[in-house]
Amino acid sequence: MTTPSARLLIVGPQGSGKGTQGARIAAALGIPAISTGDMFRAAIAGKTPLGLQVQEVIDAGDLVPDELTSAVVRERLSETDAAGGFLLDGYPRNLGQVSDLDAFLTDRDEELTSVIELSVPRDESIARLTLRAQQQGRTDDTEEIIANRLRIYERETAPILDVYRERNIVDAIDGVGTLDDITSRVISALQARGLSADAVR
Ligand code: AMP
């Protein structure tokens, strides 16, 4: 019996732990975790043409234009390692990107398996972001820029969940607890969607 491919999104406000959980879940499923934020940061660090193009926008905590972001994601999803499934972290981030992703997947006769919504109270996400700022020194983790990113999340990203809720593919997960507890919650939700236990190691 073949295991259905896992095509997953992980969505949550900054500081919800979606990067950490996304990587753990993708590793458990043997699929690539694809983080647009990480891809942009790598491009900036490597001073590539893409990096130079997006640096200012990212430093301000604003969104990179959809056309550019969706092109980066399409290219990444076309690589062979994403053929059997993927986990997208940080994309789509607004309704325009939802349409771009739909168009791409429809062309390939694919659809999303689950949208993991990681919820944490605002105080907790701000505390985690402040800690990350101290530990990693990200240029977009200052207090003012964090506030801008959280505003954008509420205004532009949270509405994408309504679209996916209508499709009945959202798994809302409590993002407070130990790393292992949260990973187990997600994995149980994915098993309930038919991803078999041996795929979910
Ligand atoms: P993240 O690590 O997901 O918080 O992303 C860091 C920054 O990269 C964001 O604040 C945006 O400036 C940019 N970025 C990441 N993903 C996207 C996206 N899907 N659309 C637009 N901008 C993005």
Candidates 137, 182, 199, 200; CA nearest to 12 is 182
Model-level pTM?
A: 0.92
Partner residues linked to 88 by β-bridges: 9, 34
> What pLDDT is attached to residue 108?
95
pLDDT per residue as tens digits for the range 19-42: 999 999 999 999 999 999 999 999
107 burial via Cβ count (<10 Å: 0-12, 13-18, 19+): exposed
Looking at the CA of residue 149, tell me the nearest atom of ligand 1. 10
Active site residue: 24, 138, 155, 167, which one?
138
CB atoms within 10 A of CB 166: 9
Q: Can 132 be counted among the known catalytic residues?
A: yes
One-letter amino acid for residue 178 of the chain:
T
Indicate whether residue 90 lines ligand 1 (CB < 6 A).
yes
Query: Are the C-beta atoms of 28 and 201 separated by less than 8 Å?
Result: yes
Indicate whether residue 150 lines ligand 1 (CB < 6 A).
no
Kindly tell me if the per-residue pLDDT of 198 is higher than 60: no
Active site residue: 7, 24, 149, 185, which one?
149
Q: Can 155 be counted among the known catalytic residues?
A: no
> Residue holding tokens 């430093």?
59
Q: Would you tell me the crossing angle of helices 179-192 and 18-29 to the nearest 10 degrees?
A: 50
Q: What is the DSSP letter of 176?
A: -
DSSP E strands, the chain: 6-11, 33-35, 85-89, 114-119, 170-174
Q: Can 138 be counted among the known catalytic residues?
A: yes
Domain ranges of the chain: 10-192
Residue whose CA is at the smallest distance from ligand 1 atom 10: 61
At residue 125's C-alpha, the angle toward residues 124 and 126, to 5°, is 90
196 confidence band (pLDDT: 50, 70, 90): low
pLDDT per residue as tens digits for the range 134-175: 888 777 878 888 888 899 999 999 999 999 999 999 999 999
Q: How far apart are CA 134 and CA 125, in angstroms?
A: 14
Give the pair of three-digit tokens for residue 59: 């430093």
CATH 3.40.50.300 fits 10-192, yes or no: yes
Active site residue: 24, 132, 165, 201, which one?
132
> What pLDDT is attached to residue 132?
83
Q: What are phi and psi of 160, to 5 degrees?
A: -65, -25
> What pLDDT is attached to residue 197?
45
Q: How far is the CA of 92 from the centre of ligand 1 (A)?
A: 10
Q: How far apart are CA 101 and CA 98, in angstroms?
A: 5
Residue whose CA is at the smallest distance from ligand 1 atom 8: 37
Task: Say if residue 159 carries a ligand binding annotation.
Answer: no
Q: What is the DSSP letter of 154?
A: I
In the chain, the percentage of residues whose pLDDT exceeds 70 is 96
